Structure 1
Amino acid sequence: MKAEDDIFKNMKKLQDLKFSIYELSNRRVDFHSFDILTLQHLPNPIQLDDEFKSLKKDHTIEQIAWSIIKKYDL
């Protein structure tokens, strides 16, 4: 059960991250651009799961969203 709980917690955090990016990005992206673990952004998809994993220990979801928005100019 613990593994399943961790999966659901992480999926919820990724959903929160996607929503934060959508809300904070001046509406340059929409929900149609989001896959489960990526954001379709030309020329290459943004690996949201990798971005999240690298920052999750020391940053809030909003801080991670701002980091992604700034890094990829969303």
Structure 2
Amino acid sequence: MDMFTVGRKDGYIYGYLFKSRGIIVLDEGKREYYVKAAEILINGNFVKVNDLETHESYGHTIAGTKARILDNSFINSII
């Protein structure tokens, strides 16, 4: 993927991860979604992370990370 674009495309929701009230969320511009797992962009490739809280506890930065989730996932919009 040459350019990272926030929004919905090809069955995914693309956005940036950050913490809101202690919970990791994906911000896609119009909405924010609580997420426990996502595919994060590392060196131009998306890598599945099944537990973002554990990933962060190992010292990896979550805030501002480019990520995507499946558009048809069971996710809760918190607008």
Fold agreement, TM-score > 0.5: no
Q: Where is the strand percentage greater, Structure 1 or Structure 2? A: 2
Tell me the TM-score normalised to structure 2 length: 0.28
Tell me the TM-score normalised to structure 1 length: 0.29
Q: Is the radius of gyration larger for structure 1 or structure 2?
A: 1
Q: Where is the helix percentage greater, Structure 1 or Structure 2? A: 1
